[in-house]
Structure 1
Amino acid sequence: MIRIEVLGTGCVKCSRMHANVLEAVKKTGADAEVIQVKDINSIADRGVMLTPALVIDGVIRAEGRIPCVEEIEEMIQE
């Protein structure tokens, strides 16, 4: 199972990234757990300075931008 985390305080951009992640998971059929991390201390503890951020299996894959659904699909399939 893939662990996908969307880091952000719940702003519009963070919500958009979460929606893109859910769509990418659906399109790929991946066995994934999608988690939203909204706690600013938890986000900072990971070294993330810009939100939204996307973490896949513990690796920061995007920070401060919203990857498109297709880009997230590629990340999931790697």
Structure 2
Amino acid sequence: MLDDKKLKRLNQLAKLKREDNISKAELKELTGLREEYLSNFRSSFKNQIKNTKVIDPEGNDVTPDKVKALRNKK
């Protein structure tokens, strides 16, 4: 997870970019922070999907096979 300090910096740099007032070094920093943020987001989302179980109205487990395969893959 991205700590508060990094998240704050990411938002500052994004604002600078929107205002077209960003240096090349800041742009490189922004790219790195975005990659870290997206990597953490994807990992978290994947874990959430792994822990999801889909049940139909009759009470049957209809979780997609892909999700079951992710869950069994360790």
With structure 1 as the length reference, what TM-score do the two structures score? Answer: 0.29
Instruction: Determine which structure has greater relative contact order: mean sequence separation of CA pairs < 8 Å that are 6+ residues apart, divided by chain length.
Output: 1
Structure holding more helix per residue = 2
Q: Which has the larger radius of gyration?
A: 2
Higher strand share: 1
